[in-house]
A and B are shown apart, each in its own frame.
Chain A
Amino acid sequence: MHKQSFTGGDAMSLLSSTTGGTITRATLTKDLRLEWRSKDALNSMLFFSLLVVVIFSFSFDPLAEESRRIAGGLVWVAILFAAVVALNQTWARELRNQVLDAYRVSPAPPNALFMAKALGNFFFVSLLEALMTPLFIIFYNLRALGPAWQLIPIGLLGTWALVVNGTFFAAISLRTRSRELMLPLLLFPISIPAVLGMVAATTAILTGENSAHFWIVLLLTYDVVFTTACLALFEKVLEAE
């Protein structure tokens, strides 16, 4: 005689609690907690970001007048490289012991997992930016001649643009050889409009010579389009054997 563990009522409440939101939150808190426990990855990423800033400062003389014009580009390229290091770690814990199989076999919606990972990456890359940006400001004596508050939406939208596609392509790269090389290989071409937007917008604000409006709208469009695409297609990537 089979032990009935769920009645009809139980089943209904079960259905509603397996919503994406609960699982996203649970996954995100788990990831943040695990990252906090072993700060190894975080510490090396922070140090790597610092190194990138220093190398750039040596390569592009901060005293020269032109450097201030290209500072916007320098900051975002530095962030891009540091972000790739972080993004490559996205699924590292799930790869060990084939934990991803446990997720796939459960009724949990794949998008909940994706959102949790993307939000986690957003948090970490923002941490890296919080370290790198002040350093750039200091090394290059940066000062915004345009409306500085616009740098906040630019930063948020630009970071999300890198992170949402980066998390997605990191999942695609799981199924390939040369996994860690594959991620930037796929991410960089697709990110070109977003990178152009971030850099042009930041330069516009720093130099005060142009309006950043168009670029902010472009970044917003990019984010909406690709967040939708990632959510629509993540399941296909997860289910690719």
Chain B
Amino acid sequence: MKRLFPIFAVLTALMLVYAAYQALLVAPTERTMGDVQRIFYYHVPSAWTAFLLFFVNLVASVVYLVKRNPKADALAMVSAEVGVVFCTVVLVTGPIWARPVWGIWWTWDVRLTSTLVLWLIYVSYLLLRRFSDSAQAPALAAVLAIFGALDIPLVYFSIWFFRTQHPQPVIGGGGSIDPRMWRVLLINWMAFLCFALLMCWSRYRLETMRREGEEAQALESLLGDDRGSSAEIKNPKVALNRSGQ
């Protein structure tokens, strides 16, 4: 398993290069928007990847609450972190795309705004993990993940309805997509998925090593204590005196 990692890393790098080549040079130029539309090949796959990762986080959180499996908790943490990274990409590429095309940085576009709220929820998730003690963080964060998942449909519908009352431009374009563009989109998504998997994998390994290190340290500190003091405990009265009576 360990040897697979560098091979996979190289593969991913190659895929990313190929995908970029496809997106920037091979894909046909969009009729109305021109070359700026190519950002679509980064915006959309990032969104799909982020959503997938947050879904993984939800499942891992539920598994943790039910089974109390520390591996599930590690997976939840990792998928949330990488998910926020991809979500940030979505939020940055959205306005970059919108500005030259429609002349405004932000609209109340349903998908983009829902993604913003999703990003906010998961940043608060990461902050909760950072601000709580290591013993409690897993359960609390898992609960928050469930709340976030319940919230997202409500977020989407509320913004969607709000938009029907206040119509504004749609980022991301509606209508059908040229099959050649679809192909490039999927290639990019594959590359992004591999990249996400790579990041999760390495982060997961890091986290597992950190936890194992903690356990080893805990065990070691106790063994060290033991060596010096076992002799004295044999006589309770001595122990009594040492407790400061």
Main secondary structure on B side of the interface with A? helix
Contact flag A189-B120 (CB < 8 Å), given A172-B144, A225-B154: yes
Which B residues are CB-close (under 8 A) to A182? Answer: 127-128, 131
Contact flag A196-B158 (CB < 8 Å), given A225-B150, A233-B146, A236-B143: yes
| A189 close to B131 (CB less than 8 A) | no
* Distance between Cα atoms of A185 and B126 in the complex (Å): 11
Say if the beta carbon of B216 comes within 8 Å of chain A. no
Which B residues are CB-close (under 8 A) to A50? Answer: none
Which residues of A, 34-75, contact B by the 8 Å Cβ criterion? Answer: none
| B165 close to A229 (CB less than 8 A) | no
| B128 close to A176 (CB less than 8 A) | yes
Say if the beta carbon of A221 comes within 8 Å of chain B. yes
Q: How large is the interface on B (under 10, 10 to 19, 20 to 34, 35 or more residues)?
A: 20 to 34
Which residues of A, 201-241, contact B by the 8 Å Cβ criterion? Answer: 210, 214-215, 218, 221-222, 225-226, 229, 233, 236-237, 239-241
Of the residues A190, A197, A221, A241, contact of B136 by C-beta under 8 Å: A241
Which residues of B, 102-119, contact A by the 8 Å Cβ criterion? Answer: 117
Count contacts on A: residues with CB < 8 A to the other chain. Answer: 33
| B135 close to A241 (CB less than 8 A) | yes
Give the residue name and chain of the B residue nearest to A214 (CB).
Answer: B161
| A172 close to B154 (CB less than 8 A) | no
User: How far, in Å, is B116 (CB) from chain A's closest CB?
Assistant: 9
* Distance between Cα atoms of A203 and B128 in the complex (Å): 34
Give the residue name and chain of the A residue nearest to B133 (CB).
Answer: A175
* Distance between Cα atoms of A228 and B188 in the complex (Å): 40
Contact flag A218-B146 (CB < 8 Å), given A190-B121, A236-B65: no
Contact flag A176-B154 (CB < 8 Å), given A190-B148, A210-B165, A240-B139: no
Of the residues B142, B151, B158, contact of A190 by C-beta under 8 Å: B151
* Distance between Cα atoms of A186 and B141 in the complex (Å): 11
Provide a sorted-by-A list of 8 A–B residue pairs whose CB atoms are within 8 angstroms: A176-B128, A176-B132, A178-B131, A186-B124, A189-B117, A193-B154, A200-B165, A226-B147
